[in-house]
A and B are shown apart, each in its own frame.
Chain A
Amino acid sequence: MTKVGIAAYGITPFTKDDQKIESVLFKSAKNLFENNPKINKKDIDAVLVSTNNNSKYLSPILSEMLGMQPKIAHSIESLCNSGTNSIVSAYSYIASGLADVVLVTGAERYDSPGQILEWDDSRGEFKHPIFWASIFSKSYKREFSISDEQLALVSVKNHKQAKENPNALSSQIFTIQDVMNSKKLTDDLKVLDCSRPCTGSASIILTSEEMTKKITDTPIWITGIGQKTTSAGFTKNTSFSSMESTRQAGHTALKMANHDTKNIDVAEIHDAFSVCEPMALESLGFSKSGQGISMIQELYETNDFKINPRGGLIGAGHPLGATGIAQTIEITQQLQSNAGNRQVDSAKIGLVHNMSAAATSSTVLVLEK
């Protein structure tokens, strides 16, 4: 089986702009080709589009807009982890020999229908994600005696880190008091605890080993993949203070890459809400149960960007279909020592954690130089 590498990427700023989805998709792909003149459009075998947008036939549309006639063209939707699931599909096409070069483009508008899972009637009238996030927060705080102020540190840290990300939705710095004083959505959630839906796009090119070496002098390899879906419905979660799908996906990915969490130098974690970051860190094995917040506090106090260097979803914004791809681009830049003021020293191995619908589904990737 061929190794699969990341040969190129492109991204747009994440904004609240009202643009057509086709235009948003096009812009990060254009950015990719402009930054990587060695890539010949004729070499691209597959174009995969990651989005929750209701518009139809977006992959053939993007292909036509880019002047390409790929062998394979289709969309992939899986709510918030559409992006990494598309990357896994691209990996599979290459590893199986069906393709050598795959373009994956993810995009979303600020008003994406993917924010609400209509099917999940067990949630009753509480279908907006703020309600599962409130239940997670309450449960996590109760089980581990964590305060609202401690959880607010996640938002403070990630907004601070987003300030170094030129494509981030937020450029503001907040204090714990700012988070605590921000609009109260429920007893357990403030508005600054939340990632915000936005308009944005990210593109990445995955290649076979041979093609990777032709296109780039700084290849990054995907060495581990783990995916797990435990259910679709939020109330089917067996715990509201840990993430079982994340635990299993992380274990699978690290085993495939033959690494342990302690080997990971830098990680993108799916902080859809403040509580998700410590929960994911614990479920992935970065810290023991209930100690994720202590790890986050230490990182913040030492100005260590190891976790969510681009500002996470809370700081960078969350254009659902683009998020997993943007996370993967960030880890690629980190491993290429190309992350500017966000750079983590001597980063050699990175991890991407991307999840959907209250952690009912998770995807974890391990990337290496």
Chain B
Amino acid sequence: MSFESELSQGKFCIPECTVCKKIIWPPMEFCNHCFGLVSLKNRDIEGKIIEFSRQNEDYFCVVEFENTIKIMAKIQQTPKIGQTVKISKCGISNGNYFFYVN
């Protein structure tokens, strides 16, 4: 089970070091603090929008989760700075990760 294999199934997992328990982002096989093995945790996470812009009709935003994970995601409705969001859809398409939040 890898982050990518889970993501390709539409599941966003939290990569966490089995030794020091830090969240490792971007996901890696080994912890970049203690080199411990990284495992994946399944849990619901909420993030906050820290910036956004729009291309044509599509908003895109930078979202921060658990003070560590930051991703660029699409959002359907008009975003607000500080807005709390969850990942509603994610996966891999044409080799690229994609994320939707709402």
Contact = CB atoms under 8 A, between A and B. Distances in A.
Interface of A: 120-127, 131, 134-135, 137-139, 142, 185-189, 233-236, 240
A131 B52 CA distance: 10
B71 A235 contact: yes
Interface in B69-90: 70-74, 81
B70 A124 contact: no
B98 to A, nearest CB: 5
B60 A126 contact: yes
Contacts of A233: 26
A101 to B, nearest CB: 40
A187 B99 CA distance: 20
A139 B51 contact: yes
A358 B27 CA distance: 20
Contacts of B74: 124-125
B37 interface: no
Nearest 4 Cβ contacts at the A-B interface: A235-B70, A134-B53, A187-B54, A126-B72
Contacts of B98: 124-125
Nearest to A134: B53
Interface residues of B, number: 21
Contacts of A121: 26, 96-97
A138 B51 contact: yes
Given A125-B96, A135-B52, A233-B26, 17 more contacts: A120-B26, A121-B26, A121-B97, A122-B71, A124-B96, A125-B72, A125-B97, A126-B60, A126-B72, A131-B53, A135-B53, A138-B51, A138-B53, A142-B81, A187-B53, A189-B53, A240-B50
B29 to A, nearest CB: 14
A134 B52 CA distance: 8
Given A127-B96, A233-B26, A240-B62, A122 B53 contact: no
